[in-house]
Amino acid sequence: MKVGTDSVLLGSWAKVNTEEQILDIGTGTGILPLMLAQKVDGNCKIDAIEIDKSAIIDARINFDNSTWKSSLKLIEDDFNAFETNTQYDVIISNPPFFEGLAPTQKSRSTARNASDKLSYDNLINRASQLLKQSGRMYLIIPVENYKKVILLAKENALALKSKLSLRPKLSKPINRVLIELVKEVGFTGTAAAQELVIRNEENKYSSLHKLLTEDYYL
Tell me how crowded residue 16 is: count the other CB atoms within 10 A of its CB. Answer: 22
Residues 152 and 120 sit within 8 Å (Cβ to Cβ): yes
pTM of the model: 0.91
pLDDT digits (tens, 9 = 90+) for 64-105: 999 999 999 999 999 999 999 999 999 999 987 545 444 444
Task: Give all domains of the chain, ordered by start, each with its CATH number.
Answer: 5-216 (3.40.50.150)
pLDDT digits (tens, 9 = 90+) for 46-66: 999 999 999 999 999 999 999
**CA distance to 22, 36, 157, per residue, from 55 (Å):** 20, 19, 32
